[in-house]
Structure 1
Amino acid sequence: MVKSEIKRNVSNDRASTILVSNPNLSPQSTRREVMKAIDPAAQGIKIRAMRTKGKEGVVLATASQEDNVKIQSNVQLRNAGFTVQESMGDNPRLRVHGVQAELAPEEFARAAFAQNFQGKWTESMFRASFKPLFKTGKRDLDTVIWVVETSPEMRRAVLNQGRLYIKWDSCWVADFVRVSRCFKCQAFDHVAKFCRGVEICKHCAAEGHKEEACPAKNEPPKCSNCRRAKEDDGHAVTSENCPAYNWAVRKRLRRTNYGKEAEQQGTQQPPTPCPRNCDSAGNAKRDREEASPQGPSEKRVISDLDRPEPPVTPRRRSEGTEIAWKELCRHCFKYGHTTSQCLSLVAACEHCGLEGHKVETCPNRGSSTRCVQCIRLKLKKDATKHSVLTQEICPAYIMHIKLVNK
């Protein structure tokens, strides 16, 4: 789903997006002034969507280049001090894993340039294309994950290189694709601090109470976002298979500028959005920072054209062929991907089977080896006393193979 969406994003004419900004006004004030200055009906302008873009201003998505010209030639906007220019979309973001926690943003950026791009890029070009935003990950670890905003060209250069050398560490990189969810109204694309909606229960999807006071805790969870869209709501709002969440992910990918040359050059495509962490059963917990539709379509989460594709069932494959779902990641120790493709922010230990640290820093070296996969399945303790790498006797591996071969 994600790769096909990026191909569509690469081939689309992104010049049909206009950024209207005014440094003296907030994005909300800019939005109001733009709606006063432009009359789409009188000027014959087809507006597909309007949204604020951080502190930069308001983004208008139009139906054609002709509509862009009409907006750019609007005299009232120019006289009011607004800057009107074509927007190429949001810049992509990358995750840099394994950076020393004590490094400051300036020191991190300086090391990234000096050890990886000196002689290839000028420092001014690098600083404009590589901007550290924030760091995430477990607080009690010596290393963190830096999230950086890059230009499409810098993203391709970093992903082609595969990793960044930062001080004494070789740090692997991956795309950062994440959609936020409000803790208050459960909708996407904003956080509770700025939410104007009503309180909605995370568990039962009813209004007026929080999950802690939910009277239906013993009943199956319901998804409030899918209920708004009149879709099947028989799942938790945090489910990775939630149709509303998949719609929000596609929306985020369409708003990101990965560059028109990405498809032709064959560079890595943005992967499935990464979960922030995983619970003890191995279920992904999604981060919550991004998207609820604005304007008249506020309650509409999914359109008929935006329905997610049905999940693809793995097929039986003949022995001797490369079977992706048999591969075991040496970072999170889950099947179906390699370490370089891993999206998990939480490492797992090969020795003790616990999450939050690697085998090199395992505090339980004196104890017997336990399988992290079997621990996630909550098997009896005796059934977990083996290495996760001994697949021939691992109950979790045997169950996994039976599942994918159904």
Structure 2
Amino acid sequence: MKEQLVDTIRYDDVSKPKTTYSDIIKGIQEETKEKKEILVLPKDGTQIEDAKKVKQVVMKTVDPGKENIKILSIRRSGKKGVIIQTNSNADKDKLMTGLMKENLEKEGLKLATTGKLLPKIIIFSVDRNEDMEEFKRNIYRQNLKDTSITEEQFSEGCKFKFTTGRRENKYCHKVFEVIPEIREKIMEKEKVYIGWESQFVKDYMGVSRCYNCQRFGHVAKVCREKQPICAHCAQNRHTDKDCPNQAKEERCANCFKFGKHFRHSTHDKDCPAYIHALEKTIYKTDYSKN
């Protein structure tokens, strides 16, 4: 599955039909539907400042054995959050309502269900100067007008996110965030018709990587690390542009940090840390219309 996943996110050669992303993730998405998760965060103004303390408070306040709750896992989520994964909706409801919820709130915590990310699609080889509003209108009128999706629903449910490709090129690739209903109709097609042209379209899968600390899931402008981590040698206090070890073999900053096999580039698409980050994104993305 990992090999297929990596192959799917490589879209340099769009002239050849490839396995669709939905084919690869069917099994994963079936499992995702059964995941029962609760996000626990500290309330504003409390003395609880990190995820470790949140976890300690949760485990002190809730006794799964006494309350007959089946917990699959409890793990960190960001700097301050903890995610509790239960075995069933009934177990989840026990935590989200009644006395247990009240006790957790008294300890300075708040509970919420974990949200899902919307899927993204990528449309290839678009003129960089294309008017985006007209572009979106043509996507709908030439491809989705005869479906159950109304133009208003399309306008609200399809948001342009960003452009990829070399900046000096006239043509680029456009990435849109869409609701599952729109994604399903679009992905039934190999190409979409837009104006006088047709463009290849497929699921977009990418993970943001911070160019300061090299970790996945955020970007440099919101990074909390004070010292940069080099993407070439995995050492701190300098960037890859200023790296004194340029003549030496590359070391993956993420794999080096966690004691994994690191004799590859931090940018490598076959990097185990990158693949793991992609899989986590799959779990967080809602591909279901229901």
Normalising by the residue count of structure 2, what TM-score does the alignment of the two structures yield? Answer: 0.71
Residue 27 of structure 2 corresponds to residue 8 of structure 1? yes
Selected match of 1:109 from 121, 136, 141: 136
CA distance in 1, matches of 2:245, 2:171: 41
1:143 and 1:10, CA in 2 relative to 1: closer, same or farther beyond 3 A? Answer: same
- Report if the CA contact (8 A) 1:203-1:236 is conserved: yes
Selected match of 1:238 from 264, 267, 270: 267
Higher strand proportion, which one? Answer: 2
In structure 1, the gaps of 5 or more residues are 53-57, 262-406
Shift of 1:204: 1.4
1:125 and 1:40, CA in 2 relative to 1: closer, same or farther beyond 3 A? Answer: farther
CA distance in 2, matches of 1:16, 1:43: 17
1:247 corresponds in structure 2 to: 276
2:234 corresponds in structure 1 to: 205
Matches within 5 A, 1:260-279: none
2:93 corresponds in structure 1 to: 69
Matches within 5 A, 1:316-395: none
Shift of 1:117: 0.9
2:248 corresponds in structure 1 to: 219
1:181 and 1:224, CA in 2 relative to 1: closer, same or farther beyond 3 A? Answer: same
Q: Classify the secondary structure of the residue corresponding to 1:39.
A: helix
Selected match of 1:184 from 212, 215, 222: 212
- Report if the CA contact (8 A) 2:232-2:246 is conserved: yes
Q: Classify the secondary structure of the residue corresponding to 1:17.
A: strand
Selected match of 2:61 from 42, 52, 65: 42
Q: Classify the secondary structure of the residue corresponding to 2:193.
A: strand
In structure 2, the gaps of 5 or more residues are 6-23, 65-70
Q: Classify the secondary structure of the residue corresponding to 2:175.
A: strand
- Report if the CA contact (8 A) 1:204-1:214 is conserved: yes
Letter in 2 for 1:48: I
Shift of 1:220: 1.0
Letter in 1 for 2:175: V
- Relative to structure 2, which stretch is displaced further, 61-70 or 2-11? 2-11
Identity rate of aligned residues, in percent?
29
CA distance in 2, matches of 1:20, 1:110: 41
Q: Deviations over 1:304-330 (max 9, x none)?
A: xxxxxxxxxxxxxxxxxxxxxxxxxxx
- Report if the CA contact (8 A) 2:231-2:239 is conserved: yes
Selected match of 1:95 from 122, 125, 133: 122
Shift of 1:19: 6.3
Residue 174 of structure 2 corresponds to residue 151 of structure 1? no
1:51 corresponds in structure 2 to: 77
1:196 and 1:213, CA in 2 relative to 1: closer, same or farther beyond 3 A? Answer: same
CA distance in 1, matches of 2:151, 2:50: 36
1:83 and 1:30, CA in 2 relative to 1: closer, same or farther beyond 3 A? Answer: farther
Q: Classify the secondary structure of the residue corresponding to 1:221.
A: coil
Shift of 1:98: 2.6
Q: Classify the secondary structure of the residue corresponding to 1:208.
A: coil
Shift of 1:9: 1.9
Shift of 1:78: 9.1
2:18 corresponds in structure 1 to: none
Q: Deviations over 1:233-286 (max 9, x none)?
A: 11221122222222222222222223389xxxxxxxxxxxxxxxxxxxxxxxxx
Q: Classify the secondary structure of the residue corresponding to 1:188.
A: coil
- Report if the CA contact (8 A) 1:202-1:210 is conserved: yes
CA distance in 1, matches of 2:214, 2:60: 34
Selected match of 2:151 from 106, 118, 123: 123
Shift of 1:163: 1.7
- Relative to structure 2, which stretch is displaced further, 63-72 or 238-247? 63-72
- Relative to structure 2, which stretch is displaced further, 103-112 or 192-201? 103-112
State which structure, 1 or 2, has the greater radius of gyration over its C-alpha atoms. Answer: 1
1:185 and 1:156, CA in 2 relative to 1: closer, same or farther beyond 3 A? Answer: same
- Report if the CA contact (8 A) 2:181-2:289 is conserved: no
CA distance in 1, matches of 2:138, 2:76: 39
Compare relative contact order (CA 8 Å, sep 6+) and give the higher one, 1 or 2: 2
1:232 and 1:85, CA in 2 relative to 1: closer, same or farther beyond 3 A? Answer: closer
**Corresponding pairs, count:** 251
CA distance in 2, matches of 1:208, 1:154: 45
